[in-house]
Amino acid sequence: MTIKGGCLCGKVRYEVTGPLFDADHCHCSMCRRQHGAAFSTYAEFNPGDFIWTSGEGLVKVYEALPGGGWCFCSECGSTLAGTDKGKITTVTLGTIEGDPGIKPESHIFVGSKAQWHDIYDDLPQFEERPPNT
């Protein structure tokens, strides 16, 4: 199964050739600021399963923490992926075209969630990042 996605302006495209796993809604203050929303939704994959198929030269990486950050389109600003130790390890589910084959499994970093946002679903909630997530 190949998962395809891209940014808002369509200039940056990617593919994930393996399965996604560990999808979560992240409520940390950094993700909220990066996305301009109450939370962000990411899924992990094996780093060797990811490739930029077009527009790689437009991709910029902002590292908020040493070794960890976000990949975004410098043209339209879409956040596309996350990095860990210089490798792309997560993708934003909102930039995937079609069914990603996975649904979010939990809410993480709810200890710092936006005060104006209430969570109404039945997914597990974690104050921070639980082990193995």
Q: Residue 120 falls within a domain, yes or no?
A: no
CA distances from 76 to 6, 7, 10, 12, 58 (A): 11, 7, 9, 10, 10
Q: Residue 31 falls within a domain, yes or no?
A: yes
**Which domain range does residue 38 map to?**
3-8+17-112
Task: Give per-residue pLDDT as tens, 38-48.
Answer: 999 999 999 89
CA pair distance 41, 18, nearest whole angstrom: 18
Q: Residue 119 falls within a domain, yes or no?
A: no
Q: Residue 126 falls within a domain, yes or no?
A: no
- As to burial, measured by CB atoms within 10 angstroms (0-12 exposed, 13-18 middle, 19+ buried), residue 42 is buried
Q: Residue 127 falls within a domain, yes or no?
A: no
Strands 40-44 and 21-26, how do they pair? antiparallel
Q: Residue 128 falls within a domain, yes or no?
A: no
Q: Residue 118 falls within a domain, yes or no?
A: no
Q: Residue 45 falls within a domain, yes or no?
A: yes
The CATH number for 108's domain is 2.170.150.70
Task: Give per-residue pLDDT as tens, 78-127.
Answer: 999 999 988 999 999 999 999 999 999 999 999 999 999 999 999 999 99
**How confident is residue 132, by pLDDT bands cut at 50, 70 and 90?**
low
Based on the structure, what is the number of domains in the chain? 1
